[in-house]
Structure 1
Amino acid sequence: MAARDDLAGVVDLFDWLTRAELSRALSELAFKQRAEADADAIAAAIDVAVAEYALVPAPPAALSGAGSDADVDAGVDAADVADPAAGIDRDDVALAVGPAAFPSLPAGAEDLPHILDVPERDVDRSALSAAVLDRLSADAVAAINESDAERLADLADVTYDIEAWAPVDAAEIRERIVAELG
């Protein structure tokens, strides 16, 4: 299965994709490479990319393009879309390139815009970065509550990544993590 930065590269071609669209794109790539597409492996690779902040769930307020307004008009809360556990179909969660990604294109990916029927899209980086900062804070609190030092160390790295990725200040989160690891 594609590495997290390859997944980010595929998403970057379109600005954002739903999990279902990304899964389809990866299946198309596997077909082009004459490989077998394993739906479970694709889902697991996406989960890893999201957990590692290479891909991030995007709230409706950060999305533009066909289909993005439907979620907002339906009264879906941005936090719900960013949290599949809140009852939104997991495949409908929009994903954008996150702060820990170094997007790269897997072989054949340059053809995906011609293969997939995905309308032109855009991501509001300000709204996306605010949602990612909120998620980072919540993830840090959860890791602190679980005394998960390994996850805290990973999240500390993400606090630097997010500051390089967007004009946000993650110092307070980082200081709390460092104090906990101390």
Structure 2
Amino acid sequence: MSSDDETPSVAARDDLAGVVDLFDWLSRDELSRALSELAFKQRAEVDEEAIAAAIDVAVAEYALAPAPPEALSEGGETPESGHERDTDGDALALAVGPAAFPSLPDDAADLPHILDIPERGVDREALSSAVLDRLSTDATRAIEAEDAARLETLADVTYDVEAWAPVDADGIRERIVDALDS
């Protein structure tokens, strides 16, 4: 799941997004369990730390998006609890983000038959609003930290998010470009 430098590849992030896309959204714990099942089916070792790192990178790079409870449905209803951010983040609900090109890893098509996960849905409007808010917050932090590499990544995400949802990220992009140019 990772390359020689221990940074998950773009393909790995897109595979994570593909697994999430099978279900519309998954908690971190459910995604970890799904990836462990895939490793088992592929007769590979399960490296929980590598799985956690890959999920963290996918979230940081907007391939996976933390989804607010109001964006989630389960079995036709909004989940009552258990899918909000908790202290260790395992129950955090994740949906496919704007920087993903979801792909399915080998044997992933079997996951809906293996995992006991009810039918789910994501309200794209609520999710895109949350992603745009997160992008603005991340841009502010990167500007304050003078983190040019992060700002470059976030500048790319501003274009991705506009292609992914009917939102306007011009203001965020302008702040990022101004910070990079100064």
Determine if the alignment matches structure 1 residue 46 to structure 2 residue 45. no
Determine if the alignment matches structure 1 residue 127 to structure 2 residue 126. yes
| 1:19-168 matched pairs, under 5 angstroms | 19-66=28-75, 68-71=78-81, 81=84, 84=85, 87-168=86-167
- Provide Cα deviations, 1:125-163, integer angstroms capped at 9, x if missing partner: 000000000000000000000000000000000000000
Letter in 2 for 1:165: W
Once residues 34 and 131 of structure 1 are traced to their aligned partners in structure 2, the CA distance between those partners, rounded to angstroms, is 38
Letter in 2 for 1:177: I
Aligned-residue sequence identity (percent) comes to 73
Once residues 89 and 78 of structure 2 are traced to their aligned partners in structure 1, the CA distance between those partners, rounded to angstroms, is 15
Determine if the alignment matches structure 1 residue 8 to structure 2 residue 17. yes
TM-score by length of 1: 0.90
Once residues 88 and 153 of structure 2 are traced to their aligned partners in structure 1, the CA distance between those partners, rounded to angstroms, is 28
SS in structure 2 at match of 1:156? helix
Which protein is richer in helix relative to its size?
1
When the two chains are superposed, the root-mean-square deviation of aligned CA atoms in Å is: 1.6
Once residues 117 and 88 of structure 2 are traced to their aligned partners in structure 1, the CA distance between those partners, rounded to angstroms, is 19
Letter in 1 for 2:44: A
Stretches of 4+ aligned residues off by more than 6 angstroms: none
SS in structure 1 at match of 2:101? coil
The runs of 5 or more residues in structure 2 that have no matched partner are 3-11
TM-score by length of 2: 0.90
The runs of 5 or more residues in structure 1 that have no matched partner are none
